[in-house]
Copies of this chain bind each other. A is one copy, B any other.
């Protein structure tokens, strides 16, 4: 049977708002059965350390290793294996990511809230950072840049990177090259649940960290969630990648199609949505998808994702914006005459791409923005990874004698009304001392 794009794409005409949540529903997965496995491995790593890590590396990665840490010799080898062209590309991307994240450095915010009461906020680095980089066919060295560059700018003392070894006990050279370039302090050949458990509890080989970043399969996702129950923070909850494009007749259909497909190739569960006020544009994009799809090496994956995709016609831009904010896309491309309207009005999105020459892949690799972004509607309540993700806000206050005279009586009254006499006392004693 010939592949017919008309039959697989979901075109939706002017949907009523009360149907939006159904139309925009993401595929959900149950994780209950995975949880049991993850908890078991966590317990074993907590108890037995490296012994358990060795066991599961053998089980899941099919290799026995004596030493998990990547040696300087292995890094040197990796450097020679990466082509000059790719090195230059990585360097250009790194420069842009560095510039954008460095610009996010915040000065101390200091204010005298009332005479004699000085308060300030400072950001200090999280001292120990863990990065997880998946293995497999697609070596995500770009994610190494996205995480290690801001970690270094923030000033983390330790940046540990875990990535699973292949069957020969190696990590892809581009990953090692990027990690070395960006100041990662320790690289470990450990993957999956055992890597997350190792960074959570610490083992002889794997340092305990305070916050874990990075993508992964369902096992890694559940393991990161579990890590939070043991005092470790994580970047954000994960879900399949997604893209929403809003486009009108000012958009180039071939470009829009290429963006939708670049999202679709990520995985069969990727989400791809086009919202438009132009039926003509929708038809043209559909046609372009059919043409471009046939050329893709990963077309089988992309076809499955395209089958879940939605092409939604709406009557005007106001409705489009409402729908987009209800969805809260991870990636949001705007190719519209009214791009300012969308830029100003969007409140729920991870990263926004404006205009015909701003493909999503620019943000994935080299524009400078971060590609670790909230999926699954989390753009409603989570930030994408940024410099602050690697820091903590701390507050300071210094109160003078004049200051405590100014706010002391208010504190005494409030503490008393809350029934906290010792809180009141701490002020009363000081005020008496000043009499």
Contact = CB atoms under 8 A, between A and B. Distances in A.
How would you classify the secondary structure of chain A's contact residues: helix, strand, loop or mixed? mixed
A246 to B, nearest CB: 14
A262 B352 contact: no
Number of copies: 2
Interface in A243-294: 252, 254-255, 258-259, 261-262, 264-266, 292
A24 interface: no
Given A362-B399, A368-B117, A381-B233, A99 B126 contact: no
A347 B402 CA distance: 29
Interface stretch (A41-49, A52-60, A64-72, A415-423): A415-423
B422 A264 contact: yes
Contacts of A211: 381
A264 B422 CA distance: 9
Given A89-B410, A369-B397, A422 B261 contact: yes
A112 B378 CA distance: 28
A384 B395 contact: yes
Nearest to A376: B231
Contacts of A237: 228, 231
A31 to B, nearest CB: 9
Given A93-B410, A362-B411, A351 B396 contact: yes
A92 interface: yes
Interface hub of A113, A369, A380 (most chain B Cβ within 10 A):
A113
A422 B262 contact: yes
A383 B376 contact: no
B352 A413 contact: no
B411 A361 contact: yes
Interface stretch (A8-16, A139-147, A308-316): A139-147
Contacts of A86: 413-414, 417
Nearest 4 pairs between A and B by C-beta?
A113-B368, A383-B393, A89-B410, A96-B113
8 contacts: A89-B414, A174-B417, A231-B378, A292-B422, A352-B394, A360-B423, A388-B388, A388-B393
